Amino acid sequence: MNILESILLAFDAVRSQKLRSGLTLLSIGIGVFGIISATSIMGALQQAVNGQLADLGENSLLIQRTPSINFGTNWAKMRRRKNITYQQAKEFRDKMTSTNLITISNTAPGYTIKAGQESSNPDVSLIGIDDLYFAVNAVSVSAGRPITESEVNTSRPVAIIGQDIVATLFPATDPLGQLITIKSQKFSVVGVLEPKGGVMGQSQDNRVLIPITVFNKYYTWEWDASVDVAVKAANSMMIPITVDEATGIMRSLRNVKPWEENNFELDTNDALTGQFSGFTTALLVVAWISGLGALVAAGIGIMNMMLVSVKERTREIGVRKALGARKRWIVQQFLIESITLCQLGGLTGMLGGIATSWGVTELLRSFNMPTITFVFPTGTVVFSVVICTVIGIGFGLYPAWRAANLDPIEALRYE
């Protein structure tokens, strides 16, 4: 008896006992559904949040001229907004009392970095920063040191480079202390950024950081001379206070009339940052434990139904044995039946789980998370196929063994 035949037999058994099989499938499906939907939804949320906040650290808020997340934005209105000048940002920094951790930066894309004969791709982001950049943002230096306050004040030509730049320009040498050239200006490398990897296909390591004073002198884009101000609240409870204060100071600095809307963007992602990942992790743990628990309960149910099935088919087994079926064949037949049941249930759960998480991501997208994208949970799908097989074998083994060890004479006589 070959495996295909066993599978067909299993389908026959499923078909002949529709209600019973349906309930069994449902129970396996619920377990798989829990695991797939929780993993997939959390994955999508996490990715969306990480994408938005690739750099912004915990408890931080970002003040920009225009929003970093664009959806339904009235660009004509945005363009009329005046730049946040470096001077304005510095005044803002001095006026804030609820926190000292305020950093001013500006980014310009599309630079080529040269070192000796080597040169990088012309798509490097150049970021002008100050000494508190690393204290506020979730970015850190893995070798060398950050840029100091005095280097910012005296416009020293120093640079911190990302891992991609290290790989192209200094594959074999130690980058620290080397000179790099950016548009004919020479900088000495004092530090290397910790690798961050890519977010949605965009590398976060393809960047060079220099003092913002130097940046302002040579690299400011005429049409985008507006700086970004990142503010780190002292703690999560201080976020509302810091937001209030920052809004107030920014409005007064930019002469916003009381009846007018803000002419700048203030993004805070307090609830969605550090706490968010802790929260998703906890939720994932609960989801996995519950899902696995449900799968074990379903497995027990399968074992029960297989035992019933063995009992009901005692005569059939007796006949097959009398006709010379080997033990191995009987075991195989029942194992394949239980695995088939598990896989069918798993498939149902998977489809349900994927549909649900797709629906939830679409729903979130239509509300307030434009960057969320549905992530097909490939890993979890593979895992559920494996776990369904394991459960099918684990809980089907005993009933199969019991069927195989029936005494043919007794079995034939069974009523």
Q: Does 248 bind another protein (CB under 8 A)?
A: yes
The binder of another protein chosen from 10, 31, 208, 209 (CB under 8 A)? 31
**Residue 284: CB minimum distance to another protein, A:** 10
Q: Are strands 207-211 and 158-161 parallel, antiparallel or unpaired?
A: antiparallel
Which string of x and - marks every residue 372-391 that binds another protein (by CB under 8 A)? --------------------
Q: Is 65 left (phi over 0), alpha (psi -120 to 50) or beta?
A: alpha
Q: Would you tell me how many other CB atoms lie within 10 Å of the CB of residue 73? A: 12
User: Given the rule CB under 8 A, which of 21-29, 188-196, 211-219, 316-324 is the region that contacts another protein?
Assistant: 21-29
Residue type, 22: G
The binder of another protein chosen from 8, 167, 179, 286 (CB under 8 A)? 286
The binder of another protein chosen from 44, 63, 147, 298 (CB under 8 A)? 298
SS3 of residue 71 by DSSP: coil
Instruction: Give 3-state DSSP helix, strand, coil % of the chain, rounded to 5.
Output: 55, 15, 25
The binder of another protein chosen from 167, 300, 322, 386 (CB under 8 A)? 300
Q: From CA 361, how far away is CA 367, in angstroms rounded?
A: 10
Q: For another protein, which is the closer residue by CB, 14 or 239? A: 239
**Residue 173: CB minimum distance to another protein, A:** 29
Q: For another protein, which is the closer residue by CB, 132 or 330? A: 132
Which regions of 112-226 does DSSP assign to beta strands (E)? 113-115, 118-119, 124-129, 141-144, 158-161, 179-182, 185-193, 198-199, 202-203, 207-211
**Residue 305: CB minimum distance to another protein, A:** 6
Q: From CA 16, how far away is CA 9, in angstroms rounded?
A: 10
Q: Does 297 bind another protein (CB under 8 A)?
A: yes
The binder of another protein chosen from 55, 151, 164, 245 (CB under 8 A)? 245
Tally the residues of the chain. Answer: 415
Q: How many residues bind another protein (CB under 8 A)?
A: 54
Which ranges of 53-160 would DSSP assign to H, the alpha helix?
75-80, 86-95, 133-136, 149-153
Which string of x and - marks every residue 79-108 that binds another protein (by CB under 8 A)? ------------------xxxxx-------
- Using CB under 8 A as the binding rule, the residues of this chain from 134 to 193 that contact another protein are 135
Q: From CA 105, how far away is CA 86, in angstroms rounded?
A: 9
The binder of another protein chosen from 48, 53, 124, 239 (CB under 8 A)? 239
The binder of another protein chosen from 69, 138, 238, 253 (CB under 8 A)? 238
Q: Does 122 bind another protein (CB under 8 A)?
A: no
Structure tokens at 44: 């999508």
- Angle, helices 327-367 vs 314-322, to 10°: value is 130
Q: For another protein, which is the closer residue by CB, 128 or 291? A: 291
Give, as one character, the DSSP assignment of residue 254. T
The site for another protein (CB under 8 A) is made up of 19-20, 23-24, 26-27, 30-31, 33-34, 38, 97-101, 135, 232-241, 243-245, 247-249, 258, 275, 283, 286-287, 289-291, 293-294, 296-298, 300-301, 303-305, 307-308, 312
